[in-house]
Amino acid sequence: MNYTVASVFHFVMCATCRLIINMVDTIGAAAAWVAPVIAGIVGIKSTPDVKFIRCHVRANLSSAAPPCDGNWQRKLGVEDQLTHSPTGRLDTVHKVPVSGQLSATVAERTRSQLGTFSPSETKVARALLAAYPAAGLETVAELALRARVSAPTVLRFASALGFEGYAAFQKALIREVHEEMGSPLQRLDDHDSRVDGGRTRSESASVFLDGLASTFDALPEAELGRAVNLLGDKRLRVHLLGGRFSRVLASYLNTHLVLMRPDVQLVPQGGHERMSALLDLGRRDVLVVFDFRRYDRSVIEFANRANAKGSHVVLFTDPWMSPAADVAEVVIPARVEAPSPFDSFVSAMAVVEMLIAAVAAHMGSSARSRLIEIEAMQSGDNAE
């Protein structure tokens, strides 16, 4: 009798669980269309993946449920992070943006694909281009209202452009805004060239001192420590790479590191030499990258490929972060504000100087012995 009751109870519970799961599936399908609209109303710029939520609801209902596949977590251009209640059940889902690849601007992509969009997506494209880039920085619901289409159409439009969701689409637009802010020509229009020498001197001092203070206050200790350990490890080879202007920082650091340790070299500026340098990279290599706003695409691509080959990537960049930050093991930001229309490397150079001192202290007698040998060789050459 007890066995029969237990069997009936087990059957009823299983049937109830299946009913709940089917209800979740049905509600989830509707939520896929309704959620973007609700999110737009409340100001959320990207909505949770329904499949992701449904999968983890199933996992909470049954410990025997199959594991959730993580491959699709980036479909919306976000990584989903679960927050669980004390009971271990699914509580909320937080969205963490995932960076997209640097390529043509959003406007260029849109214009080049105008002939490939559906009629509804074309409406979104024209609404975006008519008020670019502000329209693209609106919520999903706001852009849908502007284009007179549904919220899912806006999401499909972002996907058709090649972005992994609306969050990645907006991140690309924000990066464009920052790059435009970094344009010397743009800032020249706002720069008062008629100021007198005294005012220029006082303003310059203020800007540089503020930049230095802000940079050193915000420097992450853990990142600096990791950078020192990597550069001070003689088992690793060090390669330094910079862009058109930031190459001066790479060259300066290179000049000092070769005095303290072996296997240090600048990455060639281009051509077959740069390709050969990339070909030789591996897990025993450290790539130190300098990339500041108006980011250098060739530098970013080199960093991406070095990371793919297993190399350690250390990045010096500005507070807005080069796209190379996506693959960097260490990221060290520095302010670039200047009294002129051009970005300043005053703060970045100060950080490099600090890093040189830290590496010298870290290497200790090893660096000292190398310096003694170099001095001896130089003295012998002078005697001849």
Per-residue model confidence as pLDDT tens digits over 135-169: 999 999 999 999 999 999 999 999 999 999 999 99
pLDDT at 6: 53
Looking at per-residue confidence, does 191 or 176 come out higher? 176
pLDDT at 71: 36
- Measuring CA to CA, which residue among 296, 191, 310 is closest to residue 249? 296
Letter for the amino acid at 76? L
Give 3-state DSSP helix, strand, coil % of the chain, rounded to 5: 60, 10, 30
Looking at per-residue confidence, does 370 or 188 come out higher? 370
**Is residue 289's pLDDT more than 50?**
yes
**Is residue 206's pLDDT more than 60?**
yes
C-alpha to C-alpha distance for 270 and 241, rounded to whole angstroms: 11
pTM (predicted TM-score): 0.59
With a CB cutoff of 8 Å and minimum separation 6, the contacts of 94 are 80, 81, 83
pLDDT at 203: 85
pLDDT at 12: 53
**Is residue 9's pLDDT more than 60?**
no
C-alpha to C-alpha distance for 348 and 335, rounded to whole angstroms: 7
Neighbours of 71 (CB within 10 A): 7
Mean pLDDT of 179-207: 68
Least confident of 8-17, 82-91, 177-186, 258-267: 82-91
pLDDT at 380: 72
Domain with CATH 3.40.50.10490 in the chain: 203-375
User: Mean pLDDT, the chain, as a whole number?
Assistant: 77
Helix (H, G, I), strand (E, B) or coil at 220: coil
For residue 147, what is the DSSP state? H
Cα end-to-end distance, the chain, whole Å: 108
- Measuring CA to CA, which residue among 302, 349, 342, 347 is closest to residue 322? 302
Looking at per-residue confidence, does 199 or 167 come out higher? 167
**Is residue 373's pLDDT more than 50?**
yes
**Is residue 117's pLDDT more than 50?**
yes
Contact by Cβ (8 Å): 158, 70: no
Least confident of 25-29, 50-54, 210-214, 352-356: 50-54
Class of domain 203-375: alpha beta
Q: Which fold has domain 106-181?
A: Arc Repressor Mutant, subunit A (1.10.10)
Mean pLDDT of 231-254: 97
C-alpha to C-alpha distance for 349 and 337, rounded to whole angstroms: 13
Q: 83-106 in b/e burial notation, b at 16+ Cβ within 10 A?
A: eeeeeeeeeebebebbbbebeeeb
Hey, what are 263's tokens?
Answer: 């296997």
Contact by Cβ (8 Å): 240, 250: yes
Contact by Cβ (8 Å): 288, 314: yes
Indicate the length of the chain as a whole number. Answer: 384
**Is residue 347's pLDDT more than 60?**
yes
**Is residue 92's pLDDT more than 80?**
no
Looking at per-residue confidence, does 291 or 15 come out higher? 291
Helix (H, G, I), strand (E, B) or coil at 18: helix
Looking at per-residue confidence, does 131 or 228 come out higher? 228
Domain with CATH 1.10.10.10 in the chain: 106-181
* pLDDT classification of 133: cutoffs 50, 70, 90: confident
To the nearest whole percent, how much of the chain has pLDDT over 70? Answer: 66
**Is residue 86's pLDDT more than 60?**
no
The residues pairing with 95 across neighbouring beta strands, listed in sequence order, are 80
